[in-house]
Amino acid sequence: MSRVYNFSAGPAALPEEVLKQAQEEMVDWHGCGMSVMEMSHRGKEFMSIAAQAEADLRELMAVPANYKVLFLQGGASSQFSMVPMNLLRGKSSADYINTGSWSKKAISEAKKYCNVNVVGETPAGQFTVPAADSLQLNADAAYLHYTPNETIQGIEFPYLPESGDVPLVGDFSSTILSRPVDVSKYGVIYAGAQKNIGPAGLTVVIVREDLIGETIAGTPAMFDYQIQSEGESMYNTPPTYGWYLAGLVFQWLKSKGGLAGMAEINQRKSAALYAAIDASDFYNNPVEVNCRSWMNVPFTLADAELDAKFLADAKEAGLVTLKGHRSVGGMRASIYNAMPEAGVQALIDFMADFEKRNG
């Protein structure tokens, strides 16, 4: 078996140890004679898997007791609607920071339900985030929404927006579990699973209890945090296998020193890659240095004519899914938790060699 280094932005690489454990447990989970995929979600086996995964996530992220942890479906995109449906609570407007492609999608969905105040914005074509003191926050906003890590542009917030009493909502899809985060600063944290949590199909939502229970008229039951919370994320059949795999990833993270351990590794990985890019005239990363993402590293080649050759040669070397998003061009290396340091080093070595041969 030969596994490649997969730099996909999502669905993304999973830790090999986790895949092997899932493989061992696939046909007969812990001697119960069936796969996790075949279990009733209400049986004691799956209930224990679900409870352990929640406990491990709470421990990893130090989630305070007054927060619910939900394991839902619909991806981060469904949270673009669930957030306004649940958090408006009688108010008519919400504040949004627009830093790139995913903020824009969240904003266009929220506009269906409320007035959206864009309180800070990354100018078109730039790769930065608005300065903390430039945000024009509204005290009567139902919440402030932002995207701590823009997966496509590869920019990340170097600061935590201070929203005072207005609940802060973060789309953590591409940065959750990459480092410790102070959950108590947030009203809602949400993330699609397919980058740093597990397989696609699972969405994790962490929501402060006092913010749930009042939805806008017509909110579907599936979109109601209160109903999902009362049903312990089993209002309908939950994504059981994704939930189980997420649980294996949480245990893997604990074995690696938790989020503080991950932060050190992720910091080293990204610093090494940016240093290699910056040391060369052949490669360029467009992002302002203090906003550079630890997770998604876009870079261009001085001569775009070489892009196709770069991708083909990289693939030959076992380094795959490096093509950049069509809106940014060039390359993008997504280096989430499951990308080992050896994978980043292999990419750096390949880039140096490619430059020598083609520069």
Cα–Cα distance measured from residue 106 to residue 123, given in angstroms and rounded to the nearest whole number: 17
**Active-site annotation, residues:** 102, 171, 195
The residue (of 29 and 174) whose beta carbon lies closer to ligand PMP is 174
Q: Cβ 230 to ligand PMP, closest distance in Å?
A: 24
Binding flag, residue 286, ligand PMP (CB under 6 A): no
Binding flag, residue 98, ligand PMP (CB under 6 A): no
Cα–Cα distance measured from residue 103 to residue 150, given in angstroms and rounded to the nearest whole number: 8
* Contacting residue, 192, 239, 242, 343, with ligand PMP by CB under 6 A: 192
Residue-level length of the chain: 359
Structure tokens at 8: 């996909």
Structure tokens at 267: 């910091």
Q: Cβ 76 to ligand PMP, closest distance in Å?
A: 3
Binding flag, residue 186, ligand PMP (CB under 6 A): no
Binding flag, residue 239, ligand PMP (CB under 6 A): no
* Contacting residue, 15, 75, 238, 286, with ligand PMP by CB under 6 A: 75
Q: Cβ 219 to ligand PMP, closest distance in Å?
A: 19
Please answer whether residues 156 and 150 qualify as being in contact, where contact means their C-beta atoms are separated by less than 8 angstroms: yes
Does 77 carry a binding-site annotation? yes
Q: Total residues at the site for ligand PMP (CB under 6 A)?
A: 11
Q: Cβ 151 to ligand PMP, closest distance in Å?
A: 3
Segment contacting ligand PMP by CB under 6 A, of 73-81, 82-90, 91-99, 266-274: 73-81
Which residue in this structure is represented by tokens 């406990």? Answer: 55
DSSP, res 133: G
Q: Tell me the torsion sign for CA atoms 269, 274, 280, 281.
A: positive
Angle, to 10 degrees, between the axis of helix 240-255 and the axis of helix 16-25?
130
DSSP secondary structure of 170-185: EE-TTTTTSS---GGG
The Cα-based distances of 311 to 101, 270, 315, 347 in angstroms read 24, 20, 6, 12
Does 236 carry a binding-site annotation? yes
The residue (of 77 and 251) whose beta carbon lies closer to ligand PMP is 77
Looking only at residues 10 through 29 of this chain, which bind ligand PMP when binding is defined by CB under 6 A? 10
Binding residues: 42, 76-77, 102, 151, 171, 194, 236-237
